[in-house]
Structure 1
Amino acid sequence: MIALISAPTNLGLRPPQRGSVPGSDKAPEALREAGLFQRFMNEGAADAGVVLGGRYVDDDDTRADGQVRNQTALVDHARRLAARLTSVLDAGDVPLVIGGDCSVLLGIGVALARRGGTGLVHVDGHTDFRHPGNSDACASIAGEDLAAAVGLHWPAVGDIDGLGPYFDPGRVVHIGHRQDDEHSAEARGTLGLVISAAQAIERAPDDVTAATHAVAGTGYWLQIDVDVLDASIMPAVDSPDPGGLDASQLTALLARLAPGAIGASVTVFDPDLDPDGRYARLVTDIVVDGLSGLGLLRGRTPM
C-alpha cells in the first residue's frame, strides 16, 4: 500500500529576497487542495501523517562558517522524517513523501542507510552537486542534497548519526539536468549514471529505465524535483530553467521508474508562485498518473 507522508519544509532553500521566506513548505497542503491525496486514497493509499519542518530563518548574517542555512532545524527534521519513514517501511508499505524542498533527501537517506542502503534515482532539473570541495558558496542544501547524500558535504549534513554516505555513488542515477549545469561533469565522474534532460527527451523511456535498473537495481528510492519540467510548463519553482521535460514526458518516465522503487519523494513546488492553483493541478496529475504503480515490482498489489 502507498503511504503518503506530508513533509512541509523550506529549510534547504535560499530566501527569494533578503529577509523573505520560500513557499515550498506550503506545497503539501496546496497539492492536497488540488486533490493529490484524495486521488491516491480513492485507490487504496493511506495518509501516514505530517512531519513538520522547523521555522525558517534567513541566517546569512549569523550563520557560522562551515554550516548550511537552518542547519540545526534541517538536521532535526531529517531525523524525524527518517523515523516516520522507518515506521512506514517496517509496516511493509511504500512511502510517498510530498515535500517541501529537496532537503527531505537527507531524512530519506538516513532512514534507508539504517536499513542497509538502497540505490537512488534522482530526477531533477539540476545535479544538486554543489559541495565544499567544488564551491565556496555552500549554504542551501536544496542545491547540494545529492552531493550530501553521497558523502561529499560537511559531516553535519552528509554524515548524520554516522550513517553517511547515505547512498553508494555507484548505485545512484541522476536524470534531468540542463546542458549548462556547472557540476554535471563531476557528477558524471562520481555517480553510476548521469542522463541530461536533453538525453532523457531523446531516448525512449523504456531505454532510460533499463539503463537505470542496470545501475540502481530495483528497490531504489525515486526522488523527483518538479523543476525537471521545462520552465514554460512549470514556473512555480525556485529555479525554473528552459530545456526540461514536458508533462507527458515526465509522466511516462515516472510510470516506468515507479514500479522498481521502494518509495518516492516529490519536491520544490512553490505555491506562492501559483496564485490560481493551475500548477498544483498539473503536479497532481503528473504524480498520480506517474506514480500510481509505485513499488509494484516488490510485489505490492495495485492501488
Structure 2
Amino acid sequence: MTSQRFLGLPDRLPEGETPRAVLFSAGHGTSYPGQDSSSYALAAEAIRAASQADAPLIAHWDFDLGGPLFQDRPISCIDQGEIATAAHANARNRAAITAKTEEILALPAVPILLGGDDSVVIPFLEGFAKAEPIWIVQIDAHLDWRDEVKGERFGYSSPMRRASEMAHIAGMVQLGLRGVGSARRGEVEDARNFGSRLVTAREIHEHGIHTAVRHVPDGARIVITLDCDALDPSIMPGVAARTPGGLTYLQVIDLIAALGQRGRIAGFDMVELYPKKDLDGLSALTASRILVNLIGAICRQA
C-alpha cells in the first residue's frame, strides 16, 4: 500500500473535475525465470518519499519551469498509488498495468507510470492500443530489442522490440544510447530496419537535444519512456547498470519540455530505479525532480 503520495498530491479531485494527469505505480512486471524483481519494486516509494520535501512548496516559483508547477491554478494531477502486482505473476501483472492505463486514458487524462523494471513498459504501451497512434521516445542507455531472454519475450530486455509489433506505434526515437548491454548486431539492425531513430548520448552531448527531438513529427502524440540509467551515474547512481557518459539532469528536463512543445505528451513512464544502489537518496531526488518537470510540461500543454 502506498504510504505517501507524490508531492502530497490528492488521489482524486473534487466531484466533476477531471485531472490532466494520473500517476500510478507498479512494482512488478514480467520477471525472468530465477530473477528477483523485488528491489525494483521499492523504487516508486523511494521517489514519492524524495518528493515530500517539495510538497509544501508546490505553489512556489519553480525556476526549472519558469513559474509555479500548476501556474497558480488548482492542482490538476493526482496520484492513485500502487496497483497490485506480484513477483513472477507475469500475465496477471501485465493485465493489471494495461487495464489501469486504459482506465486513465478513458477519463481522459495522461497516465504516468512508476516502475518497476523495464518490463512494465510493454503492458503500459499496450494500454494505448484503443487511442490514436503514438510516437515512442525512449530515453535509455540500452536498446531493449531482444526477442527473448531465457524463453521470456516480455522481460526488461524486450520492451522496444514488443512495441515495434504494436499496430498503434507510429514511430520510435531511442536516445541516450551508450556503452554495452544485451544488444548484439542483429538487434541493432532490426531496430534500424523497423525505422527507429537511434541517437547516442555522445550525439546529445555534442549537438544538443534537438538532434533527437527533430525526429518526432510536429503535433505527434508522444509517450516518453525513461529508464533511469539513461542519466549519468554521477547524478543517478541508483541503477543496476552504471555506465559513464550519460545524460545530465538539465538535458533530460529540456528534452521533456521540448517534446511537450513539439507534440503532445500522451503518457510517461519511469523505470529501473534501483534504490539499494542509491547514494544518500540522490537518485530518488533526481527522479522526483524529473517527474515534477514532466507534470509541469503536461500542465503547460494546450
- Same-fold status (TM-score > 0.5): yes
What is the one-letter code of the residue matched to 1:8? A
1:25 aligns with 2:41: yes
Question: Partners in 1 of 2:255 and 2:197 — Cα distance?
Answer: 16
CA contact (8 A) 1:128 1:143 kept: yes
Describe the superposition over 1:206-236 as per-residue Cα deviations: whole angstroms up to 9, x where unpaired. Answer: 342222236xx51121111111012333221
Distance 1:20 1:171, change over 3 A: closer
Counterpart among 203, 206, 221 of residue 207 in structure 2: 203
CA RMSD of aligned residues (A): 2.9
1:172 aligns with 2:168: no
Counterpart among 112, 134, 137 of residue 96 in structure 1: 112
CA contact (8 A) 1:110 1:166 kept: no
Indicate the residue corresponding to 2:82 in structure 1.
50
What is the one-letter code of the residue matched to 1:196? T
Describe the superposition over 1:143-175 as per-residue Cα deviations: whole angstroms up to 9, x where unpaired. Answer: 111112222xxxxxxxxxxxxx2543x511111
Distance 1:109 1:290, change over 3 A: closer
Secondary structure, aligned partner of 1:213:
coil
Alignment identity in percent?
23
What is the deviation of 1:253?
Answer: 1.4
CA contact (8 A) 1:39 1:288 kept: no
Question: Partners in 2 of 1:128 and 1:39 — Cα distance?
Answer: 38
TM-score (norm 2): 0.75
CA contact (8 A) 2:175 2:212 kept: no
CA contact (8 A) 1:251 1:287 kept: no
CA contact (8 A) 2:30 2:119 kept: yes
Question: Partners in 2 of 1:92 and 1:227 — Cα distance?
Answer: 31
Indicate the residue corresponding to 2:293 in structure 1.
289
Indicate the residue corresponding to 1:112 in structure 2.
128
Describe the superposition over 1:275-303 as per-residue Cα deviations: whole angstroms up to 9, x where unpaired. Answer: 63222112112231355212744x2xxxx
Distance 1:114 1:40, change over 3 A: farther
Question: For this pair of structures, how many residues does the alignment match?
Answer: 262
What is the one-letter code of the residue matched to 2:250? S
What is the deviation of 1:262?
Answer: 0.7
CA contact (8 A) 2:235 2:286 kept: no
Secondary structure, aligned partner of 1:113:
coil
CA contact (8 A) 1:51 1:77 kept: no
Indicate the residue corresponding to 1:192 in structure 2.
196
Secondary structure, aligned partner of 1:202:
helix
Unpaired runs of at least 5, structure 2? 1-18, 60-69
Describe the superposition over 1:184-204 as per-residue Cα deviations: whole angstroms up to 9, x where unpaired. Answer: 343223233121111122222
Question: Partners in 1 of 2:55 and 2:159 — Cα distance?
Answer: 29
- Between Structure 1 and Structure 2, the one with more helix by share is 1
What is the one-letter code of the residue matched to 1:94? V
CA contact (8 A) 2:154 2:162 kept: no
Indicate the residue corresponding to 2:225 in structure 1.
223
Secondary structure, aligned partner of 1:48:
strand
